[in-house]
Chains A and B, each alone.
Chain A
Amino acid sequence: MENFTPGSALLGGALIGLAAALLMLGSGRIAGISGILGGLLARSTSDGAWRLAFLAGLIGMPALYNALGGGVAPITLDASTGLLIGGGLLVGVGTRLGGGCTSGHGVCGSARLSPRSMAATGVFLALGLLVASLVHGVAGG
């Protein structure tokens, strides 16, 4: 457990919860990233502007944090290009079908005590743990 970072995990989680609370209090919307992006791509609604604004903030912050001297370490993305494409397709199809991801179901839905979201969270956590342990278990040592 030498990689465990409880302090930054609690702080970062609180910020994510604060962002979700702000969006719900201020405009009655769910801060689910797959839903925000999916709705923008589907163009079925005319409310694209707030979705773009949210995503601009989400993408802009890590860059801003770095620019202000925060020194964000580069991420480690070990997956092969084929795995990136396959995994991306699965995450895209799965979150659109299931109507949410870690933020929409896992954070917002759980905070709403929604049985649909808690079931979804249980299922994707179980599959994520199983697949990651099988695929990365030995290699990850």
Chain B
Amino acid sequence: MALVIALSAGLIFGLGLTVSRMIDPAKVLGFLNLGGSWDPSLSLVMASAVLVALPAFYWVERRGRDLGGRSVAVPRKWPLDARLIAGSALFGVGWGLVGFCPGPAMASLGLGSGRSLIFVVAMAVGMLAVDPLWPRLRRAASPEAGNRVG
């Protein structure tokens, strides 16, 4: 059942990206680039998605369990740390350069876009690099913390 739910959610998510045309980096850059003929569509996609998802998240979180009664573990809401801000900034730079974020990049593989595959492979390499590299970066940035650990 969990797999049917995941597959259905993926299909509906992909349909949303296709219908809204967010699957196309040119459409996304039409929003991000304030210098061109500005296209506010992306902001409506986000607002609409948040409004539709909000009641479901509120209900499940307040209940602490999903519809099947299993307990739900959701990401923490605090604190705003350096890792969160630095990561989001790097992501924003990459997003602004190409116009792809992870969802549309993955979905566009379904249209047989070979150039999307280059982006997705690089993105996967970047994701894999973080887990081994981040602890070293943090130690280098604050030697005291490193000493305590070592």
Interface size for B (C-beta < 8 A) is 120
When distances are taken between beta carbons in the complex, the residues of chain B under 8 Å from A126 are 92
Contacting B at CB under 8 A, from A107-138, are 107-117, 119-121, 123-133, 135-138
A138 to chain B, nearest CB (A): 7
When distances are taken between beta carbons in the complex, the residues of chain B under 8 Å from A22 are 5, 8-9, 12, 56
When distances are taken between beta carbons in the complex, the residues of chain A under 8 Å from B41 are 3-6, 8-9
B57 to chain A, nearest CB (A): 5
B110 to chain A, nearest CB (A): 4
Interface size for A (C-beta < 8 A) is 117
Contact A137 B35, beta carbon cutoff 8 Å: yes
Would you give the 0/1 interface string for B94-130, flagging 1 where the beta carbon is closer than 8 Å to chain A? 1111111111011111111101101111111111111
- The number of A-B residue pairs with CB atoms under 8 Å apart is 507
Contact B53 A108, beta carbon cutoff 8 Å: yes
User: Is residue B149 contacting chain A, with contact meaning CB distance below 8 A?
Assistant: no
Contact A84 B75, beta carbon cutoff 8 Å: no
Would you give the 0/1 interface string for B128-143, flagging 1 where the beta carbon is closer than 8 Å to chain A? 1111001000000000
Contact A61 B3, beta carbon cutoff 8 Å: no
Q: State the main secondary structure of chain B at its contact with A.
A: helix
Which one of A18, A84, A95 lies within 8 Å of B119 (CB-CB)? A84
Which one of B7, B23, B60, B127 lies within 8 Å of A57 (CB-CB)? B7
When distances are taken between beta carbons in the complex, the residues of chain A under 8 Å from B112 are 63
Known A-B contacts A12-B20, A27-B68, A116-B77; the reply to A50 vs B48 at CB < 8 A is: no
When distances are taken between beta carbons in the complex, the residues of chain A under 8 Å from B5 are 22-23, 26-27, 50
A100–B75 Cα distance when bound, in Å, is: 10
Which one of A37, A59, A78, A96 lies within 8 Å of B87 (CB-CB)? A96
Known A-B contacts A18-B12, A58-B14, A111-B57; the reply to A101 vs B103 at CB < 8 A is: yes
When distances are taken between beta carbons in the complex, the residues of chain B under 8 Å from A57 are 6-14
When distances are taken between beta carbons in the complex, the residues of chain B under 8 Å from A21 are 52-53, 55-57
Residues of chain A whose beta carbon lies under 8 Å from any beta carbon of chain B? 1-6, 8-31, 33-34, 37-38, 41-42, 49-51, 53-66, 70, 72-79, 81, 83-103, 105-117, 119-121, 123-133, 135-138, 140-141
In the A-B complex, the 3 residue pairs with the smallest Cβ-Cβ separation, listed nearest first, are A92-B126, A12-B20, A57-B10
Residues of chain B whose beta carbon lies under 8 Å from any beta carbon of chain A? 1-27, 29-30, 32-42, 44-61, 65-68, 70-80, 83-103, 105-113, 115-116, 118-131, 134
